[in-house]
Amino acid sequence: MRKSPNPLYSLVFPLRVWVVILLFGTPAVLTVIVLPGRIRRRRVAHRLGRVLFWLAGIPVVVSGLQNLPDGACVLVSNHSTYLDGPLLTAALPPRFGFVIKREAMRMPVLGWLLVRLGSEFVERFNTKAARQDANRLIQLARDGVSLGVFPEGTFRRQPGLRAFHLGAFLAATRAGVPVVPVVIRGARGILPAETLRPRPGRVEVELLTPLLPGGRRGNDARVLRDAVRASILMRCGEPDHAHKWLQED
């Protein structure tokens, strides 16, 4: 049985996290930005990310790395908090270009960091631009680029796995590359949506068995999407809110 955090530690913990972010995280971000070479920047970001989570007192347990294919793949994960991106950067080998909403480019400093790490930015509100972005992701997958995607697109405070957008699965299907489902557990409890006050806790990142696309058509991508989502839903420990949130969106 897991012990409840010490009340005093729960009060001090947010201060610890923000001290780490300000004193160590800011220099780490600037270091990555100015480094030459995308591969080097990703490797350094991976190592510094692990150090920062350790300094902040957030244990990160990673399992299933043996499920990563040697070649290109599309990695998809549930999404519940702003911690998820830095968490996967720290937990995974530094070979993935993460697919991120285009408006993130406008964030001070962090937007520049995402660009320097080779993130792929996609449009969410302009249909024509979104279609062009989808074609670009398909070509990247065909060219052997491994992509990391949060197919829910965003997150909410209420726990639950939202509906998955189709783009990542179209890219995998058209390129003929496997999809690796990834489950993040515990991050929502540490940094819930709509708050900047972190709470003590442990995060688990689990890579599940890869799933292969069955063909190259849209229907095949939908079958793949549903199978991947079912595997993540089974392991993430949160309720299925696909239909509810589809109606809200």
From the first residue on, what is the mean pLDDT of each consecutive set of 10 residues in the chain (249 residues)?
67 93 94 96 97 97 96 95 95 94 87 94 77 87 93 88 92 94 96 88 97 76 95 95 58
Count other Cβ atoms within 10 Å, centred on residue 77.
26
Tokens of 58: 């957030």
**For residue 58, what pLDDT is reported?**
96
- The matching CATH number, chosen from 3.40.1130, 3.30.110, 1.10.3470, 1.10.760, for 7-248 is 3.40.1130
Sole residue written with tokens 């939202």? 162
Alpha-carbon distance of 234 to 238, in angstroms, equals 9
CA distance to 8, 18, 54, 137, 159, per residue, from 169 (Å): 46, 37, 34, 10, 24
Angle formed by the axes of helices 167-175 and 127-142, nearest 10°: 40
pLDDT at 248: 45
